């Protein structure tokens, strides 16, 4: 008599790909909006995760070589510091896998000029830096498409403002597949349910950014507890006194969002917790929650960044695993197009 062993059959893992630019010290906004989800997905047995430091994308803006190298290493160390395990996820440096730029050129020949010219980020960045509207800035969605398609991921976690990049990647992949057959898997944008759009502490109608001229406007992931508490005390609120979400109450809404994301409490639960208490108590509580959330990250970072030899060992191993996957995809693409095998 045969037994039903279906319960022992494992469901195939969903592959997830995320890339982050080494553009300077990351903020609480980067952590709560993206990195916290990276860490959660990295521990979830449902997912097979691949993470990259997207250093090639960073040179659309002029970089100081010494500072750039330091930021690349720092960003890699931060990925490890948030809890990503290189034994369970592939964590690598983009420029160390040459297949990214090779596939980018091929894909650029299957991308229409009109598609690129409609990209919102190109328009925005061109206005901000009119003195350096370079070709790389225009064509970097092809490099981003290569980043994604090389690894055939099921999901690409992005914020709402990045969905357009996944959409153009799908358009390019569909065009290529339409000509050459089933080459690329069609990736889907993954908008995490848990996360927060963290706003500036001084101007809560705009996103928190490390490029803000006012250092009190943002909290860096590596800020010390006393620094976090000081910035939180100076955070903009409003003339009212109740800790509750309300229309036009940008400052208090922002702080409730931060506190709720860290503690897992709903806006109603936060309101109930601080009923009858003033903004001073609430800001102190938010500051303490943030400081405790970031403390292990800062401690891990100090340990990783102080051992350059171990960092190199880890990223070399990640590079090798990433290149193994990328090379398989690129060879398939080159063969389909008609290049002589290499």
Q: What is the predicted pLDDT for the residue at 8?
A: 47
Tokens representing 270 are: 């936060």
Q: What is the model's pTM? A: 0.88
H or E segment and range at residue 106? helix 99-108
String of DSSP letters for 120-168: HHHHHHHHH-GGG--HHHHHHHHHHHHHHHTT--SEEE--GGGHHHHHH
Quick check: 190 and 14 in contact, CB under 8 A? no
Per the DSSP assignment, residues forming a β-bridge with 301 are none
Q: What pLDDT, on the 0 to 100 scale, is given for residue 186?
A: 96
Which sequence spans correspond to the domains of the chain? 14-195+308-337, 215-304
Quick one: fold of 215-304? Tyrosyl-Transfer RNA Synthetase (1.10.240)
The whole-number mean pLDDT for each consecutive block of 10 residues of the chain, a chain of 342 residues, reads 48 90 87 87 90 93 93 95 94 98 96 82 70 76 95 88 86 96 94 76 92 92 96 94 93 95 94 93 97 96 96 97 97 95 72
pLDDT of residue 94: 98
**Per-residue pLDDT, 299:** 96
Provide the pLDDT for residue 3: 46
- C-alpha–C-alpha distance, residues 50 and 14, integer Å: 11
Which homologous superfamily is 14-195+308-337 in? HUPs (3.40.50.620)
Q: Please give the helix or strand (H or E) that residue 332 lies within, else none.
A: helix 308-337
pLDDT of residue 2: 42
In 3D space, the residue among 167, 166, 107 whose CA is nearest the CA of residue 139 turns out to be: 107
Q: What contacts 223, CB < 8 A, 6 or more positions away?
A: 231, 294, 298
DSSP structure class, residue 207: B
Give residue 193's pLDDT: 65
Catalytic residues: 125, 207, 210
């Amino acid at each position: 008599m045969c037994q039903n062993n279906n319960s022992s059959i494992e469901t195939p893992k969903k592959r997830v790909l995320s890339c982050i630019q080494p553009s300077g010290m990351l903020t609480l906004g980067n952590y709560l909006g993206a990195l916290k989800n990276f860490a959660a997905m990295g521990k979830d047995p449902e997912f097979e995760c691949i993470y990259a430091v997207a250093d090639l994308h960073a040179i659309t803006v002029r970089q100081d070589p010494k500072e750039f190298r330091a930021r690349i290493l720092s960003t890699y160390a931060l990925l490890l510091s948030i809890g990503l395990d290189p034994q369970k996820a592939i964590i690598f440096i983009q420029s160390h896998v040459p297949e990214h730029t090779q596939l980018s050129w091929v894909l650029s020949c299957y991308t229409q000029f009109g598609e690129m010219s409609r990209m919102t980020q190109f328009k925005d960045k061109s206005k901000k830096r009119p003195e350096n509207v370079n070709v790389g800035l225009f064509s970097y969605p092809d490099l981003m498409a290569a980043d994604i398609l090389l690894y055939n991921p099921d999901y690409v976690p992005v914020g709402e403002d990045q969905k357009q990049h996944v959409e153009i990647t799908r358009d390019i992949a569909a065009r290529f597949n339409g000509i050459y057959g089933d080459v690329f898997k069609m990736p889907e944008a993954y908008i995490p349910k848990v996360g927060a759009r963290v706003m500036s502490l001084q101007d809560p109608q705009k996103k928190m950014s490390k490029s803000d001229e006012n250092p009190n406007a943002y909290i860096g992931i590596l800020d010390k507890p006393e620094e976090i508490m000081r910035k939180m005390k100076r955070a903009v609120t409003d003339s009212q006194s109740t800790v509750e979400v309300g229309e036009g109450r940008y400052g208090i809404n922002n702080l409730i969002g931060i506190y709720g994301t860290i503690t897992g409490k709903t806006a109603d639960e936060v309101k109930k917790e601080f009923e009858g208490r003033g903004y001073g108590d609430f800001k102190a509580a938010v500051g303490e929650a943030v400081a405790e959330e970031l403390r292990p990250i800062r401690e891990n970072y100090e340990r990783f960044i102080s051992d350059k030899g171990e960092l190199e060992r880890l990223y070399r191993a990640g590079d090798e695993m990433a290149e193994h996957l990328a090379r398989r995809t690129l060879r398939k693409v080159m063969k389909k197009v008609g290049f002589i095998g290499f």
